[in-house]
């Protein structure tokens, strides 16, 4: 391997040199979405980040086996299916297709294997049987199989949680059949109307955590190199995956390197469904396109919070315009034919071409340092600036070597930067036109015309109603929402008045 990766491993909390189980090969798993609706932009971040890892490892020469799952049996899916009078298979199948559309828009590559939980029920049952045999799980009177955390040495090693402290802080339910409050479900009896499978413990369905352990084991064996997911999955999901896999297979560590990406905020507020600010990925892609969505998601290091705001969108928009203007210029210069060699100009372009090799090294170095994407962008723009500087200098494009230099520059954008980042591959003229349209739409909606007076009146009425029912939080939310859309309201003796600001 000519490239050494240094990755922040959540298990140790340290940046470690990557040494795979088998030299030259790499096994990687990423927890995918539960398919009961369109994914939000946070789920898209998860997909794009794991796709970045996959691309970077492949580009570095690893023979990568990358598995990503779909959770297609879950309470949320069952509830939705029941509400709509459909089967949960139908709901899950529909949204697998929808999620894949968004993934494709965001230029995500096909993983080696995409698994669905329901296709791995037998491996899950076999794994649960092994855990019971090892004395680390038990069957309750009601036919539920629970993992016994106290019987597993090292529970808490990923999240840094200590079982005694956890238990001291836990509420104990009297009716609970758990031996410890942190024992978790491996298998549960199915209620009427729920999908169910035959098992040694009666008809039932698996708990959520067991699916990833079983799919990983089935597809890649008892130990893998990389496991990725959102930081919200560290506890309990990933902690439980470790417990299950290590208890069943007796191999430790189950995962060599755990990679977790940080969450998203929306204008500095933690993104949550209750706030109503979950930005659906489809809406975003329809408005801004997949290239911009991906650019924005990679503009912040995966371990850092990404604040999803108008400003972030603007930054990405400007950066893309800068890149594609340079790309357009290079495309034109590549075709330029001039027969008057000039030794001075030749040497300037020659130097530019040889410098590209250094930029490639810097780019690979940035990626191998824990996927430092902000640094990758900075390397790209240093080269863009250099290209712009030379080509705009008087007379510099009147020399034969300009076309070779432009071609090398384009190669850097499309191959070196593009293949790792999954960006830069759009046709420049058409794409710049598209960006221009986005920009003019944003200009016209960012100002006073963003809301019609009818829409404003409706919101003011809603706020009045909220105040009348003493829901001041909601009332404030409406006021802030209006302000964000450029409308200021004022309460006076004649009621509420408003103006565009
Ligand atoms: Zn998982």
**pLDDT digits 0-9 by tens, 103-143:** 999 999 999 999 999 999 999 999 999 999 999 999 999 99
How many whole angstroms from 209 Cα to the centroid of ligand 1? Answer: 6
How many whole angstroms from 389 Cα to the centroid of ligand 1? Answer: 48
The predicted pLDDT at position 273 comes to 58
How many whole angstroms from 210 Cα to the centroid of ligand 1? Answer: 8
Neighbours of ion ligand 1 (CB under 5 A): 31, 212
**Residue 431's CB: how many other CB atoms inside 10 A?**
21
How many whole angstroms from 437 Cα to the centroid of ligand 1? Answer: 40
How many whole angstroms from 70 Cα to the centroid of ligand 1? Answer: 9
How many whole angstroms from 228 Cα to the centroid of ligand 1? Answer: 9
How many whole angstroms from 33 Cα to the centroid of ligand 1? Answer: 9
How many whole angstroms from 317 Cα to the centroid of ligand 1? Answer: 34
pLDDT at 454 over 80: no
- What confidence tens digit (pLDDT) does each residue in 350-368 have? 999 999 999 999 999 999 9
Nearest residue to 199 (alpha-carbon basis) of 214, 213, 187, 209: 187
Q: Which long-range contacts (CB under 8 A, 24 or more apart) does 452-461 make?
A: 456/482, 456/487, 456/498, 460/489, 460/496, 460/498
How far is it, in rounded angstroms, from Cα 41 to Cα 34?
Answer: 14
The predicted pLDDT at position 492 comes to 82
Is residue 52 within 8 Å of 373, Cβ to Cβ? yes
**What residue ranges define each of the domains in the chain, with the CATH number in brackets?**
6-261 (3.40.50.620), 310-444 (1.20.120.640), 448-500 (no CATH)
- What confidence tens digit (pLDDT) does each residue in 202-218 have? 999 999 999 999 999 99
The predicted pLDDT at position 358 comes to 98
- How much is the mean pLDDT over the chain? 93
259's CB contacts (< 8 A; 6+ apart) are 7, 8, 9, 10, 53, 226, 227, 228, 302
The predicted pLDDT at position 172 comes to 63
How many whole angstroms from 449 Cα to the centroid of ligand 1? Answer: 45
Is residue 53 within 8 Å of 228, Cβ to Cβ? yes
List C-alpha distances in Å: 276 to 52, 266, 271, 297, 477: 29, 10, 8, 20, 10
Q: Among 196-205, 351-360, 435-444, which is the least confidently predicted range?
A: 435-444
How many whole angstroms from 124 Cα to the centroid of ligand 1? Answer: 13
Is residue 220 within 8 Å of 63, Cβ to Cβ? no
Across the strands, what pairs with 204?
A: 189, 197
How many whole angstroms from 32 Cα to the centroid of ligand 1? Answer: 7
Three-class SS of residue 205? strand
Whether the CA torsion 196, 155, 9, 20 is positive or negative: it is negative
pLDDT at 153 over 80: yes
B/e letters for 34-64, b = 16+ CB within 10 Å, e = fewer, are bbbbbbbbbbbbbbbbbbbbbbbbbbbebeb
How many whole angstroms from 481 Cα to the centroid of ligand 1? Answer: 36
Which comes out higher in pLDDT, residue 446 or 37? 37
How many whole angstroms from 229 Cα to the centroid of ligand 1? Answer: 7
Three-class SS of residue 166? helix
The predicted pLDDT at position 275 comes to 55
How many whole angstroms from 213 Cα to the centroid of ligand 1? Answer: 8
- What confidence tens digit (pLDDT) does each residue in 315-352 have? 999 999 999 999 999 999 999 988 889 999 999 999 99
How many whole angstroms from 474 Cα to the centroid of ligand 1? Answer: 35
- What confidence tens digit (pLDDT) does each residue in 3-34 have? 999 999 999 999 999 999 999 999 999 999 99
Across the strands, what pairs with 30?
A: 68, 228
How many residues comprise the chain? 501
How far is it, in rounded angstroms, from Cα 344 to Cα 231?
Answer: 54
- What confidence tens digit (pLDDT) does each residue in 469-498 have? 888 888 888 888 888 777 888 888 778 888
The pTM of the full predicted model, rounded to 2 decimals, is: 0.87
Nearest residue to 294 (alpha-carbon basis) of 30, 99, 49, 111: 49
pLDDT at 278 over 70: no
- Summarize the confidence of residues 425-452 as an average pLDDT: 83
Position 448 confidence tier, pLDDT thresholds 50, 70, 90: very low
How many whole angstroms from 212 Cα to the centroid of ligand 1? Answer: 5
């Amino acid at each position: 391997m000519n490239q050494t990766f240094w990755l922040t491993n959540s298990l140790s909390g340290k940046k470690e040199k990557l040494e795979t189980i088998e030299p030259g090969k790499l096994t990687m798993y990423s927890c995918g979405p539960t398919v009961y609706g369109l994914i939000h932009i946070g789920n898209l971040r998860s997909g794009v980040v794991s796709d970045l890892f996959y691309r970077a490892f492949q580009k570095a020469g690893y023979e990568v086996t990358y598995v990503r799952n779909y959770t297609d049996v879950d309470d949320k899916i069952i509830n939705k299916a029941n509400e709509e009078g459909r089967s949960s298979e139908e709901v899950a199948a529909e949204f697998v297709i929808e999620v894949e559309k968004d993934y494709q828009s965001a230029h995500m590559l096909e993983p080696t294997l995409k698994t669905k939980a329901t296709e791995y029920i037998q491996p899950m049952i076999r794994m649960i049987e092994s855990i019971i045999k090892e004395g680390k799980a038990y069957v309750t009177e009601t036919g539920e199989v629970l993992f016994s955390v106290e019987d597993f040495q090292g529970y808490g090693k990923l999240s840094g949680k200590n079982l005694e402290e956890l238990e001291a802080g836990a509420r104990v339910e009297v009716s609970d059949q758990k031996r410890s409050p942190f024992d978790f479900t491996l298998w549960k009896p199915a209620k009427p109307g729920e999908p169910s499978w035959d098992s040694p413990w009666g008809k039932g369905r698996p708990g959520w955590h067991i699916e990833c352990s079983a799919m990983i084991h089935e597809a890649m064996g008892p130990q893998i190199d990389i496991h990725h997911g959102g930081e919200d999955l560290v506890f309990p999901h990933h902690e439980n995956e470790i417990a299950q896999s290590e208890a069943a297979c007796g191999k430790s560590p189950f995962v060599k390197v755990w990679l977790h990406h940080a969450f998203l905020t929306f204008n500095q507020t933690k993104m949550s469904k209750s706030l109503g600010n979950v930005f659906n990925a489809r809406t975003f892609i329809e408005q801004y396109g997949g290239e911009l969505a991906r650019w924005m998601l990679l503009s912040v290091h995966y371990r850092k919070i990404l604040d999803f705001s108008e400003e972030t969108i603007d930054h990405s928009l400007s950066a893309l315009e800068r890149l594609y203007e340079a790309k357009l210029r290079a495309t034109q210069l590549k075709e330029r034919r001039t027969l008057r060699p000039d030794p001075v100009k030749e040497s300037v372009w020659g130097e530019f071409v040889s410098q590209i090799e250094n930029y490639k090294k810097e780019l690979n170095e940035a990626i191998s340092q824990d996927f430092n994407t902000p640094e990758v962008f900075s390397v790209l723009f240093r080269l863009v600036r250099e290209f712009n500087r030379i080509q705009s200098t008087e007379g510099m494009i009147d020399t034969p070597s300009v076309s070779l230099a432009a071609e090398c520059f384009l190669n850097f954008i499309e191959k070196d930067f593009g293949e790792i980042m999954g960006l830069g591959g759009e046709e420049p003229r058409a794409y710049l036109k598209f960006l221009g349209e986005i920009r003019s739409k944003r200009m016209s909606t960012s100002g006073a015309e963003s809301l019609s007076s009818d829409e404003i009146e409706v919101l003011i009425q809603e706020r009045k109603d909220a105040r009348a029912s003493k829901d001041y939080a909601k009332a404030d939310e409406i006021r802030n929402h209006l302000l964000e859309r450029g409308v200021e309201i004022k309460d006076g003796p004649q009621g509420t008045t408003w103006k565009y600001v």
